[in-house]
A and B are shown apart, each in its own frame.
Chain A
Amino acid sequence: MTRELSRPKRKNPILRTRLATLPPGARSRVALGLTAAAARGAFELQVCRDCQAVQYPPREACQACLSSRLPWRVQAGDGELIADTTLAHSNDLFFRERVPWRLGYVRLDCGPTVVVHMHGDVPPAPARVKVGARLDKSGQAVLIAFPSQEVPNMADDRQLREFTCDPKFRKVLVTDGKTGIGQAIVKAIIAAGADLVWVGHAEPWKKFPGFDELKAIPQVSLMPLDLTDSKSVREIAAEIGGRVDVLINTAEVHRNFGIGNRRGVEIAQAEMDVNYFGLLRLAQEFGPALRGRAADGQSNAVAWVNILSVYALANFPPHGTFSASKAAAHSLAQCLRAEMRPAGIRVINVFPGPIDHEWNQQIPPPKVTPQALATAIVRALKDGVEDVYPGDVAQEWLERWRDNPKALERELSNP
């Protein structure tokens, strides 16, 4: 049975902080299909459109009929563990530091036999298991065998934690606590077991609703942080950067203008200054600090969360300049992900549909509540996914976008 995670001892400051190592990360282009699904939290395998055979490992042609029509389809993951072993030695740096390490073969009910990492509560073969896809420290999909039933402290398993970013006992920076979103996230992350949450607030002379409640939470430390001010970001990074395990960027400027219904560029500049340049400033100052602590014991630096918008995928003209700033932030977040991956730090991009706040007052429901967004973010950290689309609108737009981006462009421009 998995032992419940306990608060780690303080680290010994005379010992060198370990550097991050990564598991093997090379994948073929077709194998990246597994990664693409795992990045959204899905386990998909190719299924032959002609003979229905489920494929593993990923391939160019059906192993049964040689058809090249192999679309990716969600799999339930139920199967039988047919063999398991414990790795006691490895010349691979990543596994060398983590042995003993359990591996196994699972024959999936849908057909193929797959290689899996193992949750500690999976009994020796033969046993019924549930296989899921997760991203490893290299950002590539791997398969994990879980016990067929939920067990206590399941998330605390030592091997599983190599694939997740659980906030339990971790120290978190939420960059803007002035908004309902920021406050909901602070509360959700503390409920998920975070030890300490630094909460930024710009323009400290503007006291915001919820300030007193936030200030009264024992885990919360409020600090002035303004993403438009390089000096502010630099100083806060210097002060706490070496302690932050999870950074959640909630700072955002959202106004409701396209091109033609507002003269001038100063609103668009304000959106860009926070939504795009703010992320850049944060990434330049906090990125190196997080990378340096990516292997720092049990409560190592693990994740960076960006709250983008589903409008980053396709422009919503009534909020056109906001959409553009989020598209720019999305692009930069991909750069950040590439730069954080060598340290194994997960960059999670969240693409909510319209959020229920004052700048979406005239958008009809369904709207994502701050609480639902916060729940989705905690879930994403626990599952270690890369891309999250919270809310019905985001889910629908994602499906439409994946199906035909051009069609979505037209649909969004005809409200």
Chain B
Amino acid sequence: MSTNILSQLVAELSSGRIRIIDLTQTLSPEFPQISLPPEMGQCLPFRIEEVSRYDDRGPGWYWNNFSCGEHTGTHFDAPIHWISGKDLPNNATDTVPITDFVRPACVLDCSKEAAANPDFLLTVEFVKRWEAKHGVIPTRSWVLMRTDWSKRTDPAAYQNFDETGQHTPGPDAEVVQFLVHERDVIGFGTEAIGTDAGQAQYLRPPYPCHYFMHGAGRYGLQCLTNLDRLPPTGSVIVAAPLKIQDGSGSPLRVIAMVTS
């Protein structure tokens, strides 16, 4: 039976009736990284050094060494990332249940709101309006906040800093608690540099998405792209972080399966 289902999956993929969409930004030195105040520890940006390229350093082969932080590029946040999730069981990249790596997704289109207001905050009311149209968010789903932020290819526009800090959209404190407790989501995903809004240090509590999601053992995905190519419901996300020992997160390839 299971063989049949998997064969069917492969057949549907081959025929194009199930399509795979890449939700991942390319890891490149130009892609911006999260910036903390300069006196704090920083997340390394992606860097790459050539080891050899069919030359005197290695005549027949090409390869590179790369370096980056756990939270560089399109990446996964494990519950251990935040202090609220530090004592949970199976909270790190090497111990989170692998069954969580393949889950359905709901995509909430906030692109108009984010275009009008870079500090847009997702609210419970917005989610309920979405549910009235598309149905209640199923248990253990990803909730992905589409803002079209990934279309800002200029790093300065993507980061959107001014002298008061970063201005990017995210969820408010109430909606995160609603999604965790009322909808039992598996995690929250965004297109901007963090799952929380750029000004989220001024929310109560600061960085509510990190605080409540990770505190409840849920995950984060950020720097996603191509969310505009996903249906509001019905897609399946494959998001498997690198198996870093005691890792707080990891860059990863995020793909979505959708039916045509």
Contact = CB atoms under 8 A, between A and B. Distances in A.
Interface string A194-224: 0000000001111100000000000000000
Contact of A229 (B41, B42, B47, B155): B47
A239 interface: no
Contacts of A232: 29-30
B158 interface: yes
A205 B47 contact: no
B156 interface: yes
A231 B48 contact: yes
Contacts of A264: 41
Interface string B30-49: 10100100000110110111
Contacts of A228: 45, 47
B82 to A, nearest CB: 19
Interface string B140-169: 000000000000000110111110000000
Contact of B29 (A204, A231, A266, A267): A231
Nearest to B166: A205
A270 B47 CA distance: 13
Given A267-B41, A270-B42, A230 B48 contact: yes
Contacts of A205: 32, 35, 155-156, 158-161
Interface string A19-59: 00000000000000000000000000000000000000000
A232 B41 CA distance: 23
A135 B155 CA distance: 46
A264 B45 CA distance: 18
B161 A206 contact: yes
Contacts of A206: 35, 159, 161
Contacts of A229: 29, 45, 47
A176 interface: no
Contacts of B32: 203, 205
B163 to A, nearest CB: 8
A47 to B, nearest CB: 51
* Chain A residues touching B, majority SS: loop
A207 B161 contact: yes
A266 B35 contact: no
Nearest to B161: A205
A230 B28 CA distance: 12
A206 B44 CA distance: 16
A203 B48 CA distance: 17
A312 B50 CA distance: 30
A226 interface: yes
A270 B159 CA distance: 22
A362 to B, nearest CB: 13
A206 B48 CA distance: 22
A228 B30 CA distance: 11
Contacts of A226: 29
Interface string A58-79: 0000000000000000000000
A204 B42 contact: no
Given A204-B155, A207-B161, A266 B47 contact: no
A319 to B, nearest CB: 14
A270 B42 CA distance: 9
B29 to A, nearest CB: 4
A231 B66 CA distance: 12
B158 A266 contact: no
Interface of B: 29-30, 32, 35, 41-42, 44-45, 47-50, 155-156, 158-162
Interface of A: 203-207, 226, 228-232, 264, 266-267, 270
Given A203-B35, A205-B160, A207-B162, 8 more contacts: A204-B155, A205-B156, A226-B29, A228-B45, A230-B49, A230-B50, A232-B29, A270-B42
13 contacts: A205-B32, A205-B155, A205-B161, A206-B35, A206-B159, A207-B161, A226-B29, A228-B47, A230-B50, A231-B29, A231-B48, A266-B41, A270-B42
Closest 10 CB pairs of A and B: A205-B159, A205-B156, A229-B29, A205-B155, A231-B29, A204-B156, A205-B32, A205-B161, A230-B49, A266-B41
